Structure 1
Amino acid sequence: MKNNQFINHTRRQFVIGAGSLSLLGSGLASAQGTATNLKISHQFPGGTIDEGDFRDRLVRRFAQAVEGRSNGAVKFQIYPGSSLMKVNAQFSAMRKGALDMSLFPIPYAGGEVTETNIGLMPALVTSYEQATKWKTADVGSMFNKLLAEKGIVILSWIWQAGGVASRSKALVSPEDAKGLKVRGGSKEFDMMLKDAGASVISLPSSEIYAAMQTGAMDAAFTSSTSFISFKLEELAKAYTGAQNKSYWFMLEPLIMSKKIFDALPPDHQKLLMAVGAEMEAYGMTEAKKDDIMAGQIYEKAGAKVFALDDTVVSKWRDIAARTAWKDFSDRNATCAALMKAAQQLI
């Protein structure tokens, strides 16, 4: 860490520490009248609290609510579009306390914490109703505990459905994948696609456009919202969306460094958790809207739009179960327990 970054980080930690010495009950400022300033980084396009990518809007709504209820004792700086740091660096930075918060695609941390790959396990979650049950079920309790041990606190459980856009032929059923260069979004999704005959490419969703534009990639899976925000309709000739069914569901929570969280006064901790929970209904509503809107945008742009049914989802689940699900469960006891608990919700 550079000297000036170290000084700024140390100063912030002192402010947080000073705040914890006083009773901040109704969100009053610290004993010295200094607000706690938290930084939120994410990879998605920036906008306003009312317009733009809903994930950026969700972060801004969260920040506004916390600032208001704390009477300005907790403030935020929001850095969209990977403007503060690259997306793949965020998880590690939060674990170390070098970054405060992020709205983060949790399987992106799979290289560092392999258990997080369950957050994009193909065909394990197939509806928002099922996804919503995770937080209070055994799988959610286990996942919360795991992340806490790794230095991460989940503030908001945000799930998104997704689909696949193609530069040429449609990718609907497993037999369509043969010979295509495809981005799945996680190691497990890639395993399923390989079994179906595709070759796979690994990169963040923010880099899909360039890869498709150059022909380095034929098709890409990502969330409906990313299909809108990253304007892939400009390149896609076919789109299979989540307007009906989906076997691509990603856990994309608002998370926080446990080191930073633990240094806050208890009242502020409770406030962050409370507002985070309130954002979950908003996130699901907006994600569902984008599932419908994405299909409309791609159809208007001239792409052939396809929807999934139970039969096609079942075909993908059969492949996923014998490849990705088995591989994940075989990695270690925690992975096996997480998978078993998640399957109880199917």
Structure 2
Amino acid sequence: MRTSFAALAAMIFGLAGTIGTAHAETVLRFAHTQPASDTHHLAAERFAKLVEERTKGEVKVEVHAAGTLGNDSAILEGVRLGTIDIGQTGNPFYTRFAPRLNVLDLPYLFRNYEQAYKVVDGDIGRSLLGDLEERGMKGLAFWEIGFRKVTNSKRPIRTPADLKGLKIRTTPNPAHVKAFEIFGAIPTPMPFTEVYMALETGTVDGQENPLNIIRSNKFQEVQKYLSFTDHAYTVSVVSMNLRKFKNLTPEQQKIVLDAAHEAAVYQRQLNRDQAANDLKAIEEAGVQVIQDIDREAFKKLVFEPAKKGYTDQFGSELVDKITATQ
């Protein structure tokens, strides 16, 4: 009997030790909708590696790619409610929670990458990420989607008039929708995970995204023309459930924030390094690439109306600060 009690005591002690160890280790689920070949996934893996190394294994990140935990809207809802710990998707999907973020999607607001990075990594970016806390999310960093280009299956796009009547999948962002309405297209927002099928079946004629997104999602297989309109620069946002973030120790919180920013820098550089290969892959698939675009004609049509739509609601301070950034 003594032996049985001793064995039982040892089992209980061992179980208690196991439970204590489990509680000491935090596992965070990170969800996004891009394929494993995309730079967002590579950056997410880099983020996970940095967090685990710097917390000495106390915090681990499991990355779930390609929409396995849901489409963009479902991922953000999951982050907000806490059923998903960390999510990454394009800024336009966040704007229904934090509408001030719409400023980053105004057409032709950013002149180049350097201006965009100064804005989103500085005081303006930190202020905008702070808006997410009112909706239960902690903004960790701005990653990058990039300068958007138009693909379609109907005809080359060189001027705004060429877009007239084309059904173009856009994000749900009001500035994007408004811009394509002004161009005479038929903007058709839909979840990103449905875009390839919609292009393949002709539900929409085209879509608009940067080179890396076009190539990694194989849109070149179902599109004939690519036009360098560069009509908007788009960031993606990495956010975490606010309660889960606050449950981390202050040291762990800093590690997570630093790792998210370092992964952003890494991902942006990957995009620059891979741009030539992305374009080559698209061209080799038989897509006609049009780079002689009358961008000033596009900008002249949409910049002021889109800007007014934003400033009427939020004032001109943010827009003015961004346009003044060198």
Change (3 A) 1:33 1:153: closer
- Partners of 2:86 and 2:251 in 1: CA distance: 18
Equivalent in the alignment of 1:5:
none
Q: 2:157 aligns with which of 161, 168, 171?
A: 171
Q: 1:227 aligns with which of 214, 217, 230?
A: 214
C-alpha contact 2:170 2:190 (8 A) present in aligned 1: no
TM-score, structure 1 normalization: 0.82
Q: Deviations over 1:90-128 (max 9, x none)?
A: 223322333210122121123333223233221112321
Equivalent in the alignment of 2:319:
339
Query: Amino acid of the residue matched to residue 330 of structure 1?
Result: D
Verify: 1:329 aligned to 2:319, yes or no. Answer: no
Q: 2:183 aligns with which of 190, 196, 217?
A: 196
**SS where residue 313 of structure 2 aligns?**
coil
Matched pairs, number: 306
- Partners of 1:92 and 1:121 in 2: CA distance: 24
- Partners of 1:264 and 1:317 in 2: CA distance: 45
C-alpha contact 1:53 1:225 (8 A) present in aligned 2: yes
Q: 1:183 aligns with which of 155, 160, 169?
A: 169
Verify: 1:218 aligned to 2:205, yes or no. Answer: yes
Query: Amino acid of the residue matched to residue 318 of structure 2?
Result: L
- Partners of 1:192 and 1:119 in 2: CA distance: 14
C-alpha contact 2:91 2:237 (8 A) present in aligned 1: yes
- Partners of 1:80 and 1:125 in 2: CA distance: 29
C-alpha contact 1:238 1:305 (8 A) present in aligned 2: yes
1:131-280 equivalence runs, <5 A: 131-159=116-144, 160-185=146-171, 186-241=173-228, 246-280=230-264
Per mean C-alpha deviation after superposition, the further-off stretch among 129-138 and 219-228 is 129-138
Change (3 A) 1:275 1:53: same
C-alpha contact 1:138 1:341 (8 A) present in aligned 2: no
Change (3 A) 1:128 1:141: same
Q: 1:42 aligns with which of 18, 23, 32?
A: 32
Kindly state the Cα deviation for residue 166 of structure 1 after the two structures are TM-superposed: 1.0
**SS where residue 223 of structure 2 aligns?**
coil
Kindly state the Cα deviation for residue 308 of structure 1 after the two structures are TM-superposed: 5.3
Query: Amino acid of the residue matched to residue 217 of structure 1?
Result: V
**SS where residue 153 of structure 1 aligns?**
strand
Query: Amino acid of the residue matched to residue 110 of structure 1?
Result: T
Which of the two has greater helix per residue? 2
Change (3 A) 1:112 1:270: closer
- Partners of 1:108 and 1:172 in 2: CA distance: 28
C-alpha contact 1:126 1:248 (8 A) present in aligned 2: no
C-alpha contact 1:161 1:291 (8 A) present in aligned 2: no
Equivalent in the alignment of 1:317:
299
Rg larger in structure: 2
C-alpha contact 1:143 1:338 (8 A) present in aligned 2: no
Kindly state the Cα deviation for residue 302 of structure 1 after the two structures are TM-superposed: 1.4
- Partners of 2:125 and 2:32 in 1: CA distance: 23
Kindly state the Cα deviation for residue 323 of structure 1 after the two structures are TM-superposed: 2.1
Equivalent in the alignment of 1:3:
none
- Partners of 1:291 and 1:32 in 2: CA distance: 43
Q: 1:70 aligns with which of 55, 64, 67?
A: 55
- The answer for unaligned runs of 5 or more in structure 1 is 1-29, 47-51
C-alpha contact 1:95 1:259 (8 A) present in aligned 2: no
Query: Amino acid of the residue matched to residue 38 of structure 1?
Result: L
Kindly state the Cα deviation for residue 56 of structure 1 after the two structures are TM-superposed: 0.6
Equivalent in the alignment of 2:72:
87
- Partners of 2:21 and 2:212 in 1: CA distance: 42
Query: Amino acid of the residue matched to residue 284 of structure 2?
Result: K
Query: Amino acid of the residue matched to residue 331 of structure 1?
Result: Q
TM-score, structure 2 normalization: 0.86
